Amino acid sequence: MKRCLIFSGPSGAGKSTLMNHVLETTQYVGVTVSCTTRAPRKSEVDGVNYHFVSNEKFDDLIRRGEFIEYVECYSNRYGTLKSAVSDILKDNDICILDLDFAGAYQILAHNIVPEFNFEGVLILPPSMRSLRARLLGRGTETEESLKTRLHESFDIKNIAAYKYIIINNDLEKAKSELSWTLEKSRNL
């Protein structure tokens, strides 16, 4: 059976690193590309990192019921298109959605799109101290953004909705746990 796994976790938990590992080592998995109203960063490519759209286009997609979920975060909007999930499931057994807690909550807690089989994968750092160190190590956070990210990092709505929880204390162990999770989900 084809499944959709929602990956959530605070910034700095290692979610992107683990997702990249999955894409490099697993043949039957695809990741959705979300829409956003924010401007692209220098290294980002439209259609690869995000679909960069205007606020007007985003509103139109909402009106037409094209999103599975959408949220506002840091004064920008982000959303996952139903068509993005369908397109990935045409060629793959598992579709991964990289969602913040609010977007994941919309889907996992309310089962708003029953035609897709969603399961949640929560990726967490081992502690707040390690999360702070990881965020500082990036060298991209201001003191203000660091405080915001740390405050929001453990605002996990409906943790019981997540089927799998991976504590990323040791990267190799987390990769192994994630591979096991994918196989288990694929063979259910």
Local confidence pLDDT in tens for the 188 residues of the chain: 689 999 998 777 788 889 999 999 999 999 999 999 999 988 899 999 999 999 999 999 999 999 999 999 878 999 999 999 999 999 999 999 999 888 888 888 776 677 788 999 999 887 667 666 656 666 666 777 656 655 565 555 567 788 998 988 899 999 999 999 999 888 87
Tokens of 71: 């949220």
> Domains in the chain: how many in total?
1
Report pTM. 0.83
- Give how far Cα 12 sits from Cα of 3, 16, 104, 121, 175, Å: 26, 9, 18, 16, 16
* Domain at 24, CATH number: 3.40.50.300
CB 40 within 8 A of CB 155: no
For 127, other C-beta atoms within 10 Å of its C-beta total 11
Length of the chain: 188
Tokens of 44: 């980002």
CB 168 within 8 A of CB 14: yes
CA-closest candidate to residue 68, choices 17, 43, 104:
104
CB 113 within 8 A of CB 22: no
Q: In DSSP terms, which residues pair with 67 in a beta bridge?
A: 81
37: containing domain: 3-186
